[in-house]
Amino acid sequence: MSDVSDQIMIFGCGYLGRRVAQLAIRDGNTVWATTRKSGKQRELASQGILPIVADWTDRRSLIDLPAVKHVVICVSYDRQSYHNRYESQVGGLRNLLHALSPDAKVCYISTTGVYHQQSGLWVDEASPTRPLRDGGRAHLMAESLLNRMRPNSPWTILRLSGIYGPGRIPRAADVIAGRPIASPQHGFLNLIHVDDAAEAVCSTLRTHTQRLYVVSDDQPVVRSQFYQEIAYQTRSKKPQFVTPDARSPVMMRSESNKRVWNRKMKRDLVSKLRFPTYRHGLADLLSIGNR
């Protein structure tokens, strides 16, 4: 992102958005970021971010958004919200796109949850999408909306695999404590370290076309192997597994069993990942010397 020196607005400055903001500020950009809670303005400002209180489900809060060249949209669905997924993810995006200049370049953060494939099939940007869960369906509808509403404007859609990183390692606490893991042992996890995901997002600021990418590391991993690696890195006991409730989120996520192929991302956005596999990421986060 070294060639970029612009004003950037991050809509939804959470776990990923904060990393994107840090990279953008490091490279000399002015970064605005939204929060729904006025109490978080000081926290954002302390990190060099210009705060905006806005909620994309409320059009009134979008009237005075700053005019910027780049907009990164990484809004997570709030399960405590009064709005359903469609109203938030699709309706909110529609409100925001109406408020933005047609010249603004949009990077929309979607999910590999739009893919339905099973049996370990490989998927990429050209693979069919028939999402199995509400989250994937809402993101796919939002992607379509972005395409329709900005037919002549530059945008990028990034379908991210599961994000992990500092403070966010699935089931690490359970493995270390020796608690049984309520998860299927089989099926593939597709992951991306938050730092590599942020680099991919920032790389889109250099492009001025309409493109779609999947963002994932180089090695999909079977679930049991991922948890076993956590145990190895922390010198914990080998994890034991129990069958989760059939209606639990982890069981529903496991219904989609695919492997994500990141070749296009590595060609255009991030040629060399800092954490190319889950082993590299976990070694950095969990090894005894780093705890």
| Residue 118 belongs to domain with CATH number | 3.40.50.720
Per the prediction, the chain carries an average pLDDT of 91
On whether residue 245 sits in a domain, the answer given is no
Show the domain range for 29. Answer: 7-168+191-219+259-273
Tens digits of per-residue pLDDT, 269-281? 999 999 999 999 9
On whether residue 134 sits in a domain, the answer given is yes
On whether residue 227 sits in a domain, the answer given is no
On whether residue 229 sits in a domain, the answer given is no
Nearest to 213 by CA among 228, 192, 234: 192
Best-predicted range by mean pLDDT (118-122, 156-160, 201-205): 156-160
Q: Over 70: is that where the pLDDT of 291 sits? A: no
Nearest to 205 by CA among 29, 16, 26: 29
Q: Which carries the bigger pLDDT value, residue 243 or residue 281?
A: 281
pLDDT for res 3? 42
On whether residue 175 sits in a domain, the answer given is no
On whether residue 278 sits in a domain, the answer given is no
Tens digits of per-residue pLDDT, 7-40? 999 999 999 999 999 999 999 999 999 998 888 8
On whether residue 91 sits in a domain, the answer given is yes
Q: What is the total count of domains within the chain?
A: 1
pLDDT for res 82? 77
On whether residue 287 sits in a domain, the answer given is no
- Distance (Å, rounded) from C-alpha 143 to C-alpha 137? 10
How many Cβ atoms from other residues are within 10 Å of residue 120's Cβ? 13
Nearest to 241 by CA among 167, 162, 285, 187: 187
- Distance (Å, rounded) from C-alpha 234 to C-alpha 287? 6
Q: Over 50: is that where the pLDDT of 222 sits? A: yes
